[in-house]
Chains A and B, each alone.
Chain A
Amino acid sequence: MKEFKVTPIRNGTVIDHIECGMALKVLRIIGMADGGKAQSPVSVLMHVPSKKEGWKDVVKVEDRELDPREVDKIALIAPKATINIIRDFNVAEKYNVKMPERVVGKARCSNPNCITNQNEPVEPEFVVESKNPPVLRCVYCDRQLDDIAGNLL
């Protein structure tokens, strides 16, 4: 018997195993932060015990599936997250977010003096030095990206 802290949803997406404290940033990525695109209910569980280890956040969105670009961004701030696609109340698909080797055009460089923050026809680009915790290094200015969540594009 499943124990639900919120009403079960018929169709939608459950983003599970989000790093504690990152739920609101995940909402921003999927465009739900200020009610923006939300046409349907979104529920957020923050700081709930995880069967796997410690604590986690969970985001549940009804009647919506994520596009790959959103999933890629979630990987940058919540590398252990799983995406569960719910159809007719059941988990129809489940996959882990995947941190790529390179991150192109998804975050801006936190170095204000980096050439990618000028008017140049290039997308900011980072090499992933560590997947968990995520450590990204700008291929242009060679600096480590601080505050990934705050610099997402």
Chain B
Amino acid sequence: MDIVSIRDLSREQIEEVMERSERMIPYARGEKASKALDGKILATLFFEPSTRTRMSFESAMMRLGGRITDLGVPSMSSISKGESLADTIRMVEVYSDIIVIRHPREGAARLAARFSSKPVINAGDGAGQHPTQTLLDLFTIKRIKKDFNKLNVVMVGDLKYGRTVHSLAEALSSFGVELTFVAPAALQMPKETVRQVERMGGRPKLTNRLEETIADADVLYVTRIQKERFPDLAEYQKVAGMYRVDRRLLREAKSDLIVLHPLPRVDEIDPEVDGTPHAKYFEQAFNGVPVRMALLNLVLGGEL
């Protein structure tokens, strides 16, 4: 079984991942120990820098008693000698039981899955999919809010290029969540995603005014606007400071509004928010570990 796109999982499987993730929490915290993946080796292939995703996969594997191997310094490895990804995969699959890959090109994880007889988990392929992020976002919302139904989720920031928001929006709408997309016109949610959400019965609202959406929101999902996406600095600066989540904005919010962010943040969430009960982004980051444990356990088997 490979996990390349969130669409590879049925709704039942997503629910199962969330149940398993809940059971993983004491193990993820180190309060309980497990040997479920004793003797198993996870290969992490990160062709692009990542701290959070890589570390949480490694931590997840080790918390389940498994081991890790990686490519080492990329410049020292065969990749810099021009080896194809297909060949790298054919080599790595004989050294490991499961492969986690992050790659700058879209479709790289699907290609890896086709060449590998061992399971492959996509940890981000260019501007494409990042299913484990989607699952940990879903888990975080479910865990705090208990029920998805009729929840009002506001997504704000770079909704056009931010790879996590597209699959999250689709997944949330399949659970009956109401969605509002807040972004400047140039960075609004792609039409294809909006259409997909509508096909699942959702009626997303699109706006560029965050203040107007905050009072009704149950979840505020904030993403970073990336400088790299803009042809010139002036254009970037025009939109970069547009949305800033601070105490003043949150005065209008419901007392149980939660603020999430895939991190790292720059200045879209003021650090003064960190100490409020709304701030759940560090809990969200921690949830990366139990969710990835649940996935490793689901794919590789083994008793807790």
Question: Which B residues from 113 to 131 make CB contacts under 8 A with A?
Answer: 114, 125-129
Give the nearest-CB partner of B111 in chain A: A115
A101 to chain B, nearest CB (A): 18
A119 at the interface (CB under 8 A from B): yes
Cα-based distance from A5 to B259 in the complex (angstroms): 70
Interchain CB contact under 8 A, A115 and B114:
no
Listed residue (B105, B114, B192) with the most chain A CB atoms within 10 angstroms of its CB: B105
Interchain CB contact under 8 A, B86 and A142:
no
Interchain CB contact under 8 A, B192 and A115:
no
B120 to chain A, nearest CB (A): 13
Give the nearest-CB partner of B192 in chain A: A144
Residues from chain B with a CB closer than 8 A to the CB of A7 are none
Residues from chain B with a CB closer than 8 A to the CB of A114 are 105-107
Interchain CB contact under 8 A, B110 and A139:
yes
Interchain CB contact under 8 A, A113 and B126:
yes
Interchain CB contact under 8 A, B106 and A121:
no
Give the nearest-CB partner of B107 in chain A: A140
Q: Interface size for chain A: under 10, 10 to 19, 20 to 34, or 35 or more residues?
A: 10 to 19
Residues from chain B with a CB closer than 8 A to the CB of A111 are 106
Cα-based distance from A115 to B105 in the complex (angstroms): 5
| A121 touches which of B84, B105, B110, B126 (Cβ 8 Å) | B84
Residues from chain A with a CB closer than 8 A to the CB of B104 are 113
- Contact status of A122 and B114, CB under 8 A, knowing A113-B126, A142-B129: yes
Cα-based distance from A143 to B107 in the complex (angstroms): 9
A24 at the interface (CB under 8 A from B): no
Interchain CB contact under 8 A, A115 and B5:
no
Interchain CB contact under 8 A, B86 and A140:
no
Residues from chain A with a CB closer than 8 A to the CB of B127 are 113
| A142 touches which of B5, B85, B114 (Cβ 8 Å) | B5
Question: Which A residues from 103 to 147 make CB contacts under 8 A with B?
Answer: 109, 111, 113-116, 118-122, 138-144
Residues from chain B with a CB closer than 8 A to the CB of A139 are 110
| A141 touches which of B84, B85, B128, B192 (Cβ 8 Å) | B128
Give the nearest-CB partner of B85 in chain A: A120
Residues from chain B with a CB closer than 8 A to the CB of A122 are 86, 111, 114
Interchain CB contact under 8 A, B129 and A115:
no
Give the nearest-CB partner of A144 in chain B: B192
| A138 touches which of B103, B107, B114 (Cβ 8 Å) | B107
| B86 touches which of A109, A121, A138, A141 (Cβ 8 Å) | A121
- Contact status of A142 and B106, CB under 8 A, knowing A121-B86, A122-B86: yes
Give the nearest-CB partner of B83 in chain A: A119
B257 at the interface (CB under 8 A from A): no
| B105 touches which of A118, A142, A143, A144 (Cβ 8 Å) | A118
Cα-based distance from A113 to B111 in the complex (angstroms): 14
Listed residue (A116, A120, A139) with the most chain B CB atoms within 10 angstroms of its CB: A120
B138 at the interface (CB under 8 A from A): no
Give the nearest-CB partner of B84 in chain A: A120
Question: 1/0 contact trace for B78-101 toward A, CB 8 Å?
Answer: 000010111000000000000000
- Contact status of A113 and B106, CB under 8 A, knowing A140-B111, A141-B128: yes
B168 to chain A, nearest CB (A): 15
| A143 touches which of B84, B86, B103, B106 (Cβ 8 Å) | B106
Cα-based distance from A142 to B85 in the complex (angstroms): 18
Cα-based distance from A144 to B127 in the complex (angstroms): 14
Residues from chain B with a CB closer than 8 A to the CB of A109 are 107
Residues from chain A with a CB closer than 8 A to the CB of B108 are 115
- Contact status of A140 and B110, CB under 8 A, knowing A115-B103, A120-B86, A121-B84: yes
Q: A109-B107, A141-B106 are in contact. List 7 more A-B contacts (CB 8 A).
A: A115-B108, A118-B84, A118-B105, A120-B111, A140-B110, A141-B126, A144-B192
Q: Which 9 A-B pairs have the closest CB atoms?
A: A140-B107, A141-B106, A141-B107, A115-B107, A115-B105, A115-B108, A140-B110, A115-B111, A114-B107
